[in-house]
Amino acid sequence: MPFSPLCQLNGGCMGCCGHDFESKEKIKQAVFKNNLEFKHADPKTEEQFIQFRDRRPSRDLRNGVCRNLVEEQGCYLCPLHPARHGKDLRIGHCDTDYLCKTATLFENWSEEKKKKFIAFVESKRLDNTDYSIRMDNDSLLKEFIELEKSLT
């Protein structure tokens, strides 16, 4: 299953938990409503998590955001993730094999370049929503590549 350390930077990235994001505010509104529904459902068993997941079809997004995405202690997270269950409850609901362009390229970079990119991201001091938007639209990648070029 693809995983990149970039998915957990800056309070967690939600860049691939949706499509066609409208705005930062709309993303935050969607996650706020998801959180309310998640707290109300208060799933404990695997079956209850699946019931929560299946309350709407996977393509029925909220402001472009997956209805399962929630925020806990300021970090974005997916309550269906195998980190919580051991089993991946996202399978069949979202594309668990997807990695964004930045994360895909990052995998093949040298350790030195990876460290540089992480330091570059940290220097931006983005919140998790801006970070996610900029991972999703490749703009951090483009800016990093330009910076690298200007230093050679």
Between 36 and 142, CB nearer to ligand SF4:
142
Torsion of CA 107, 113, 114, 118, to 10 degrees: -140
d(CA 12, CA 150): 29
Q: Which stretch binds ligand SF4 (CB under 6 A): 4-12, 31-39, 77-85, 117-125?
A: 4-12
Residue 140 interacts with ligand SF4 (CB under 6 A)? no
Burial class (CB in 10 A: 0-12, 13-18, 19+), 41: middle
User: Which window, 10-18, 80-88, 109-117, 121-129, contacts ligand SF4 (CB under 6 A)?
Assistant: 10-18
State the Rg of the chain over Cα.
16
- Which three-class secondary structure state does DSSP give residue 72? strand
In the bound state, the residue with its beta carbon closest to ligand SF4 is 15
Answer yes or no whether residue 31 interacts with ligand SF4 by CB under 6 A: no
Q: What residues does 65 pair with on adjacent strands?
A: 18, 62
Site for ligand SF4 in 67-126 (CB under 6 A): 99-100, 102-103
Q: Give the DSSP H/E element, type plus range, for residue 77.
A: strand 75-77
Whole-number minimum distance, CB 22 to ligand SF4, in Å?
17
16 is a site residue for ligand SF4 (CB under 6 A): yes
Binding residues vs ligand SF4 (CB under 6 A): 4, 6-7, 13, 15-16, 99-100, 102-103, 135-136
